[in-house]
């Protein structure tokens, strides 16, 4: 068995400690940047919904400005965005490479995408529910919490799932700017040294991760839907 | 009677892309405590906007909304929310929270009232009994029928013990049978809890069934208002007559006369007369009296009895045959006996 593994992926076995370290870094990136991006996305998405025309905290200025900012970051290709953000990462994290260098570009690259996903999710709430809550004497913040967020949990979970999966792809792109994780592992040990087994195995890990996230997402969405 | 809701000169305009829409124009209404008050109109008449002006889901740009002695347009947002807890509202599409059970939906408005768990539980169980859905308390709205959903919505609206229940087309999405059961429930609540009810509807049958007073709206204005029995017995405006005709076949007669149907063709010495009478002055004896005293023959071609708020309003379409002068005298005698007379065709 071991012989077989060594035979089909000799370089992965060779660099096994780096490989494991890279998986760990990728998971950490997704966990930390993911959590922050999802929270930011949820906040911005909620603001977009409640400030839109005719909604409970209608505010044309905030709605337009925030919408434009989100679109701007969404429009920027991630690879260019990551390069542009290196000085900011240096300023905040003290470095723009390695694991620490990955957080800022991942958060800024994903939060706007997540914001639009959350906006979509919250928009599914029927206007009538909001009206009914207002008629019961609920204030805007209670309505956000108890109606908009609480009632769209299945849709929020679905949006989170899509966001996390797109983030898995972005973590690999960050290999180009020298951040950690499987991306840089692939470039340094795989692509640059023509070790295709490293690329294939890394790809398999990322695909598995995607399937896992999607599976958990689907399960939770189903569980919370009535 | 104590006036609970007093709307004074309410005007509401919506600014849309296609120009201003005057949804409500200078409407004044008084709704007394304990009444079931109907507001009827065709779609677009402004009735839904008007009812939203009562709890200020829509803010009128002119007028006063006096609820329970307070001018709602003059108080702060926070005070308004407290006033809104004294007004329950139900909707055409129920607006229940899909992710919450029946129990949680009913408990929903109680959660921010600083009540402890036991008090909430007691209140919710009371309401579940009132709407007869105790065994469905752990069901989700998607598992309920339309009528059950509206019952849950009624329980939720009543949870905070409001002084008034605002119903916005509450039965319009329900079948006739379910509509009846919801109306009976509203009637029961009105009687047992002495709750004031404001009913918005486009169905005259609904108004006829349970309302004490009715306002008829057309193009943003209240064109007719009054005690339900007198509005039914003596409608003044065409739109009101229209609505009343939707609940019986009287409108058909007009069509037949218009089309000169053989059934309503008459000779020179005949007239088609509509007689309308309320309980107390039955026309049967009158008709035989007319025949005797004035030598006028009456043949009844159509008869209808409306029961409005438990009091009957009868209508007879008759053909009077006889001398012109005698018919005139006969009709005068009918009028003298409080029968409303209308000559439909000479």
A181: closest CA among A210, A161, A206?
A206
B95/A147 CB distance under 8 A: no
pLDDT of B187 reads 94
Nearest to B97 among A129, A137, A154 (CB): A129
**What's the pLDDT tens digit per position in B270-315?**
888 888 887 665 656 778 888 888 888 888 888 888 888 777 888 8
Residue B228 has pLDDT above 60, yes or no: yes
**What's the CATH number of domain A2-224, 3.90.1300.10, 1.10.3720.10, 3.40.140.10, 3.90.850.10?**
1.10.3720.10
Q: What does DSSP assign to residue A179?
A: B
pLDDT of B283 reads 57
B88: closest CA among B192, B172, B169, B168?
B168
Give dist(CA A171, CA A178) in Å, integer: 11
**What's the pLDDT tens digit per position in A29-41?**
999 999 999 999 9
pLDDT of B294 reads 87
Q: What is the mean pLDDT of residues A80-100?
A: 91
**What's the pLDDT tens digit per position in A2-26?**
888 888 888 888 888 999 999 999 9
Distance from CA of B195 to the nearest CA of A (A): 17
List the single residue in B with minimal CA-CA distance to A131. Answer: B57
- Is B195 within 8 Å of B100 (Cβ atoms)? no
B81/A126 CB distance under 8 A: no
Q: Which of A57, A132, A142, A220 to mutate to test the interface with B (most CBs of B within 10 A)?
A: A132
B156 vs A contacts (CB less than 8 Å)? 136
- Is A93 within 8 Å of A100 (Cβ atoms)? yes
Q: What is the mean pLDDT of residues A195-200?
A: 90
Give dist(CA B327, CA B331) in Å, integer: 6
pLDDT of B85 reads 94
B95/A128 CB distance under 8 A: yes
Q: Which of A121, A125, A135 to mutate to test the interface with B (most CBs of B within 10 A)?
A: A135
Centre a 10 Å sphere on the Cβ of residue A111 and count the other Cβ atoms it contains.
Answer: 23
Percentage with pLDDT > 70 across chain A? 100
ipTM > 0.90? no
| C-alpha distances out from residue B33 to A48, B87, B197, B212, Å | 42, 13, 9, 12
Nearest to A135 among B82, B87, B111 (CB): B87
Q: Which residues of A touch B (CB under 8 A)?
A: 126, 128-129, 131-132, 134-139, 142, 146-147, 150-151, 153-154, 224-226
Q: What is the mean pLDDT of residues A60-73?
A: 96
Q: What is the mean pLDDT of residues B149-174?
A: 95
Give the torsion through C-alpha atoms of B139, B145, B147, B149, to 10 deg.
Answer: 40
A142 vs B contacts (CB less than 8 Å)? 112
pLDDT of B267 reads 84
Residue B317 has pLDDT above 70, yes or no: yes
Domains and CATH numbers, chain B: 3-245 (3.40.50.300), 250-345 (3.30.70.260)
| C-alpha distances out from residue B172 to A58, A139, B199, Å | 31, 29, 11
**What's the pLDDT tens digit per position in B111-151?**
878 888 999 999 999 999 999 999 999 999 999 999 999 99
What crossing angle do the helices spanning B238-245 and B250-258 adopt, rounded to 10°? Answer: 110
pLDDT of B257 reads 82
Strands B213-218 vs B221-227: parallel, antiparallel or unpaired: antiparallel
pLDDT of B280 reads 63
A154 vs B contacts (CB less than 8 Å)? 99
pLDDT of A44 reads 97
Phi, psi of B269 (to 5 degrees): -90, 25
């Amino acid at each position: 068995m071991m012989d077989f593994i060594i035979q089909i992926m000799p370089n992965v076995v060779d660099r096994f400690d780096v490989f494991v370290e890279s998986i760990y870094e990728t998971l950490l990136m997704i966990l930390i940047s993911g959590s922050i991006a999802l929270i930011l996305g949820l906040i911005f998405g909620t603001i977009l919904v409640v400030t839109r025309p005719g909604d409970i905290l209608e505010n044309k200025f905030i709605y337009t400005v925030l919408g434009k900012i989100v679109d701007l970051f969404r429009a920027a290709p991630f690879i260019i965005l990551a390069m542009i953000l290196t000085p900011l990462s240096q300023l905040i994290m003290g470095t723009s490479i390695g694991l620490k260098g990955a957080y800022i570009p991942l958060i800024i690259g994903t939060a706007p995408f997540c914001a639009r996903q959350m906006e979509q999710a919250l928009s599914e709430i029927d206007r009538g529910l909001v009206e009914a809550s207002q008629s019961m004497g609920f204030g805007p913040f209670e309505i956000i919490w108890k109606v908009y967020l609480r009632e769209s949990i299945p849709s929020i979970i679905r949006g989170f799932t899509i966001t996390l999966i797109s983030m898995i792809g972005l973590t690999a792109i960050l290999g180009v700017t020298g951040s950690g994780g499987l991306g840089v592992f692939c470039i340094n040990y795989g692509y640059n040294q023509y070790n295709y087994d490293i690329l294939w195995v890394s790809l398999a890990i990322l695909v598995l991760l995607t399937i896992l996230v999607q599976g958990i997402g689907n399960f939770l969405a189903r569980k919370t839907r009535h | 009677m104590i006036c609970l809701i007093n709307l004074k000169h309410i005007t509401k305009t919506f600014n849309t892309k296609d120009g201003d829409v005057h949804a409500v124009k200078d409407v004044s209404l008084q709704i007394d405590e304990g009444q079931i008050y109907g507001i009827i109109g065709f779609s677009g008449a402004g009735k839904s906007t008007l009812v939203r002006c009562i709890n200020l889901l829509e803010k009128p740009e002119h007028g006063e909304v006096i609820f329970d002695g307070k001018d709602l347009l003059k108080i702060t947002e926070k005070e308004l929310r407290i006033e809104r807890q004294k007004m329950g509202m139900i909707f055409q599409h129920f607006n229940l929270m899909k992710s919450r059970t029946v129990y949680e939906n009913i408990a929903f408005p109680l959660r921010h009232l600083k009540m402890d768990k036991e008090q909430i539980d007691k209140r919710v169980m009371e309401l579940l009994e009132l709407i007869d859905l105790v065994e469905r308390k752990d069901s989700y709205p998607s598992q309920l029928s339309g009528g059950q959903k509206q019952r849950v919505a009624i329980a939720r609206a009543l949870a905070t013990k409001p002084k008034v229940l605002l119903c916005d087309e509450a039965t319009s999405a329900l079948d006739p049978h379910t509509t009846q059961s919801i109306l009976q429930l509203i009637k029961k609540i009105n009687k047992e809890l002495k709750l004031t009810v404001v009913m918005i509807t486009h169905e005259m049958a609904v108004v006829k069934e349970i309302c004490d007073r009715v306002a008829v709206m057309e193009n943003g204005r209240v064109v007719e208002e009054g005690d339900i029995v007198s509005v039914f017995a003596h409608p003044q405006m065409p739109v009101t007559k229209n609505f009343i005709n939707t609940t019986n076949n009287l409108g058909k007669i007009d069509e037949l006369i218009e089309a000169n149907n053989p059934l309503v063709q008459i000779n020179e010495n005949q007239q088609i007369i509509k007689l309308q009478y309320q309980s107390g002055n039955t026309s049967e004896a009158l008709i035989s009296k007319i025949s005797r005293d004035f030598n006028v023959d009456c043949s009844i071609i159509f008869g209808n009895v409306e029961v409005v708020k438990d009091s009957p309003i009868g209508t007879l379409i008759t053909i009077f045959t006889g001398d012109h002068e005698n018919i005139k005298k006969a009709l005068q005698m009918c009028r003298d006996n409080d029968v409303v007379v209308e000559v439909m065709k000479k």
